[in-house]
Amino acid sequence: MDKATTQLMRFAILLAATVLIAPVANAQTCKSFNSCEEAVRSYRSGNSKLDRDKDGVPCESLCGKNGERMR
């Protein structure tokens, strides 16, 4: 492999790692959201910590105990 190809592969790996790690590094809490819609978007993107009781409803303070304000 030539030097340019090796550098391109390293860049691609770093870019992929950044994309995969960034959501974890930027994990937010329910207090950081202004709406249920924002919380749901983060939850569906993998921020499972937003659903403490594991009932499928993130941030019940925003979305309601039974998810009545979820979209």
- Report how far residue 48's alpha carbon sits from residue 69's, in angstroms, rounded to the nearest whole number: 18
21-70 pLDDT per residue, tens: 555 445 589 999 999 999 999 999 999 999 999 999 999 999 999 999 88
Q: Is residue 71 part of a domain?
A: no
pTM over 0.75: no
Q: Is residue 20 part of a domain?
A: yes
Q: Is residue 43 part of a domain?
A: yes
Q: Quick check: 47 and 53 in contact, CB under 8 A?
A: no
Q: Is residue 59 part of a domain?
A: yes
Q: Is residue 69 part of a domain?
A: no
Instruction: Name the residue range of residue 25's domain.
Output: 3-63
* Domain count within the chain: 1
Determine the pLDDT at residue 25.
44
Q: Is residue 68 part of a domain?
A: no
